[in-house]
Amino acid sequence: MVATNQTSNPHDGRVVLVTGGSQGIGRGIAETFAREGASVVVHGLTADYVDETVELIRAAGGTAVGTFGPIDEEQTSATAVALALETFGRLDHLVTAAGIQRYGDIVSTSVATWDEVFAVNVRGVFLAAHATLPEIRRNAGTVTIISSVQATATQASVAAYTASKGALNALCRAMAVDEAEYGVRVNSIAPGSVDTPMLRHSAAMWSDGTPAGVEQTIADWGTSHALGRVAQPSEIGTAASFLASDAASFVTGAELRVDGGLLARIATTLPTKH
> Which residues are the active-site residues?
161
What's the one-letter identity of residue 82? A
Which of 232, 234, 229, 227 shows the shortest CA–CA distance to 218?
229
Q: What is the DSSP secondary-structure string of 119-135? A: IIIIIHHHHHHHHHHHH
Task: Categorise residue 154: left if φ over 0, alpha if ψ from -120 to 50, beta otherwise.
Answer: beta
User: How far is Cα 128 from Cα 72, in angstroms, rounded to an integer?
Assistant: 9
User: How far is Cα 233 from Cα 254, in angstroms, rounded to an integer?
Assistant: 20
Rounded alpha-carbon distances, angstroms, from residue 125 to 58, 116, 172, 202, 250? 27, 14, 10, 23, 23
User: How far is Cα 34 from Cα 45, in angstroms, rounded to an integer?
Assistant: 20
